[in-house]
Structures are given as structure tokens and as C-alpha cells.
Amino acid sequence: MTQDNRRVLQNDRFLKVLRGEAVDRTPVWLMRQAGRYLPEYREVRAQAGNFMNLCMNPELACEVTMQPLRRYGFDAAILFSDILTIPDAMGLELRFAAGEGPVFDRPVQDAAAIKALKVPDVHSDLGYVIAAVEHIRAALGDSLPLIGFSGSPWTLAAYMVEGQGSKDFAKPRAMLHEDPTSGQMLIDKLTESVSEYLKAQIRAGADAAMIFDTWGGLLTSEQYLKYSLGSMQKIVDALKADPDTADTPVILFSKGCARHINAMADTGCAGLGLDWTVELGDIARQVGNRVALQGNLDPAILNAAPEVVRAEVQRIFASRPNDCRHIFNLGHGITPGVTPEAVGAAVEAVHEFGTYS
Ligand code: CP3
């Protein structure tokens, strides 16, 4: 165990729930809690020039990580970065085109391109992310836990083969059917990359690691278990096998995959993210107290009036069993158009209704 793994924090509700310990109140943080809905974020992004410059500047990445913590009573910070840093470091040349989302100038189009891909060197190719983690850790001091993160191998592969965002990621799905050997090779290279990336974030000061598998729900069940959950299992195992990271909790978030909840809960992860389409109480009864559950307010509700947000937060709490290990969050990220007031209403409602007696 390293010094960092023994870090004593003033507010450790989030980590306690992941460890299965009792807390006074349900911890809360929100996916995309730093971002465009905050005017102070837009100001710093303008100063940086664009989103990737912001990610690559450790001081500015630290500043935007801290911004939502100054406004709201969140129980965790999340590293400000993106999941697509790994493919960029593999040479695919990521850019965010205005109004278009992410684009790779050099997508992976055939088996030869997959063979040629190199696992990035975390410290030389992704050193800016590790530096951001160090800055954020120093800025947080012992106040709050810091969540590090990565995309899942399948979700990263989906963007790398498609070359951009997509509703159905038909190209990478066709590739898994047509050339499973190359598909597995791509997933394997990403599995090694993600494992090393998360270990480096933890060594630099992250207290937990979350894996975003945004597109797991697009796969057939067999493919999900083989390529997506299978690779996340290897990452969980790799972190557990390293004394520096063995005690760091891992949260898996496979959107649209609740039908696989038992298999996910058996990976040895500490927590599972839930999207908003499932009932927290139903899932809690299926997993028992094997893992913590993180979610699952519908992000669309943040466009509704504050009293509507408050009532839905209350309903989610009423639906969960008493012994539910719960971290309050959204079922997916905050969308850009919401107001800072709507986010405040959600957090306040968690503080109001999320106490354990
Ligand atoms: O949660 C946080 O606050 C931490 C920061 C974070 C970002 N992206 C910042 C970001 C995290 C955890 C991510 C993860 C991410 N990135 C995922 C997985 C989670 C999910 O939302 O499904 C995915 C699929 C991506 C890829 C990505 N990055 C897309 C598709 C886009 C464009 C869509 C959009 O919202 O603009 C991004 C850009 C991005 N990543 C922004 C932010 C704050 C917006 C950039 C801007 O300032 O314009």
C-alpha cells in the first residue's frame, strides 16, 4: 500500500460507500460536473483556445476541476480530461470540430492499422494528464477524494474505428463480426493502455478509478461479455495485482447494460454506474450489497423546474432499499444547456433527502 492509498480525507463519504462502510448521508457528484453549463468554465476554455488545449494545460485543467466544487456541496472531484486522450496518444490525431464533436484525422481502418498501433507510454505521451492529476491532488489537499477515469477498451475502439461520434457505431460493430481477430487485438492493446493509464493516475493522486463504457449497450450480449466486460475484468484484475493500486476502488459504467448487472457485479469492481432507464431499487435488490450503485437521475430533468428536480430526487431515494450502498449521480453526463441553478437544486435535494437515520 502506498502513502496515497492511506490518504485521510475530511470528507470520505464517497470512498466509504465504495468500501461498504456506513455514512451519514448519501454522497453526490455528477458526471460532467465541470463543463459548458458553467459560465466560469466557458471563460477558461476561451482563454485556452479550445477544449484539447484546456485538457493539455495542467493548471487550467485543475482550475476547471475545482470550479463546480466552489459552487456545490459535491462529495468528490473528477479529473477534467477526456476519454479520447488514449487514442490521441496512439497517433490518431484527435480534434473537436465545432458543433461536430470528436473527430480523428487518422482513424483505424484495417487490420494493418491495428497491428501498427502502439500502446502509448503513459509518462511521455499522456504526461499532461498525470500532471493534471498531481495539480488537482495538491489543490484538493485533504478535502475531497479525486476520481480518475478512462474510457473502456470497447468504447475507445468504437471511436477509433468509426473515426468520429455516431448513433450506432456501425463500422466498429461490423468489424467485430467480420474480423474478430483484429477486433480482439485492438481491444487487447487498449486494455493494456487503460490499465497503465489508470495505474499512473492512481499513483499521481486519484483515490478511485471510473471506466466509462458509454457504448457497451450497442453490442450483442455475447460481444458485450467478451469484448467489453471481458476487457474491463482484465483491467480490474491488473489494478488488483499491483500493490500500488490494489486497494483503489473501481467503478464500471456500461450504459444500457443493466441486463448484465450480475456479471458486472462479479468482476470485483467496487461500484457500478446505472443509467436512468432502470429503477435503482430493482437493481439494488439484484446485486445485494456486493457493490455500490452510482446513479441514476435522468439528466434531461435538469431542464425542468427546480421543484420537479427535487421531487424526482426524493422519489429515487424512496425507491431504494434501506441498506442500499448508493452514490447519487446522474444516469449520464450533464448536457450543456442546463442552468447552474438546476444543478444546485439537484444537489440540495440530495442533501435534504439523502440522510440515513
Ligand atoms: O465528468 C467530468 O466532469 C470529467 C470530464 C469528462 C469529459 N469527458 C469532459 C468533456 C469526462 C469524464 C468525459 C468522458 C467522455 N468523453 C465520454 C464518456 C462519458 C459520456 O459522456 O458518455 C465520452 C463518450 C467522451 C467523448 C467526448 N468528449 C464527446 C462525445 C464529446 C463531445 C460531446 C460534447 O459534450 O461536447 C466530448 C467533449 C467534452 N468532454 C466536453 C467536456 C467538458 C465538451 C467540450 C467543450 O468544452 O466544448
pLDDT tens string 327-344: 999 999 999 999 999 999
Atom of ligand 1 nearest to the CA of 30: 1
Q: Whose alpha carbon is nearest atom 9 of ligand 1?
A: 82
Q: Is 45 in the pocket of ligand 1 (CB under 6 A)?
A: yes
Overall average pLDDT of the 145-163 stretch: 98
Annotation marks residue 32 as catalytic: yes
pLDDT surpassing 90 at residue 67: yes
How far are the Cα atoms of 28, 58, 163, 313, 357 from residue 328, in angstroms, in the given order?
5, 28, 33, 9, 17
Q: How many independent structural domains does the chain possess?
A: 1
pLDDT digits (tens, 9 = 90+) for 178-209: 999 999 999 999 999 999 999 999 999 999 99
Determine the average pLDDT of the residues in 296-306: 98
Q: What is the pLDDT of residues 315-325, one digit of tens each?
A: 999 999 988 99
Q: What is the pLDDT of residue 6?
A: 66
Question: Would you place residue 5 in the very low, low, confident or very high pLDDT band (cuts 50, 70, 90)?
Answer: low
pLDDT level of residue 290 (50, 70, 90 thresholds): very high
Determine the distance separating the centroid of ligand 1 and the alpha carbon of 151, expressed in angstroms: 11
Known active-site residue 207 = no
Catalytic residue among 37, 41, 159, 227: 159
The predicted pLDDT at position 297 comes to: 98
Between the CA of 2 and the centroid of ligand 1 the distance, in Å, is 31
290 in active site: no
Supply the residue whose CA is at minimum distance from atom 40 of ligand 1: 82
Backbone angles phi, psi at 142, to 5 degrees: -105, 25
pLDDT at 100: 81
Interval 107-117 mean pLDDT:
96
- 325 counts as catalytic: no
Stretch (H or E) spanning 70 = helix 58-71
CA of 323 to the centre of ligand 1 (A): 33
**Which residue reads 422519489 in cell numbers?**
315
Query: Does residue 95 surpass a pLDDT of 80?
Result: yes
pLDDT category, 2, cuts 50, 70, 90? very low
- Ligand 1 atom nearest the C-alpha of 33 is 3
Beta strands in 16-88 (DSSP E): 77-78
Looking at every residue in the chain, the average pLDDT score rounds to 96
Write out the residue range of the structural domain in which residue 311 sits.
Answer: 3-353
The residues facing 293 across adjacent strands are 272, 326
Ligand 1 proximity of 34 Cβ (cutoff 6 Å): yes
Q: How far is the CA of 55 from the centre of ligand 1 (A)?
A: 11
pLDDT at 4 over 80: no
Using pLDDT thresholds of 50, 70 and 90, give the confidence band for residue 97.
confident
Range 298-302, long-range pairs (CB < 8 A, 24+ positions): 298/330, 298/331, 299/330, 299/331, 299/332, 299/333, 299/334, 299/335, 299/338, 300/335, 301/346, 302/330, 302/334, 302/335, 302/338, 302/339, 302/342, 302/343, 302/346
Position with higher pLDDT, 98 vs 43:
43
Can you tell me the mean pLDDT for 10-33? 98
Q: What integer is the mean pLDDT of 102-110?
A: 95
Q: Where is pLDDT greater, at 5 or 246?
A: 246
- Is residue 33 in contact with ligand 1, taking CB distance under 6 Å? yes
Q: What is the CATH number of the domain that holds 149?
A: 3.20.20.210
| Pocket lining: 32 vs ligand 1, CB cutoff 6 Å | yes
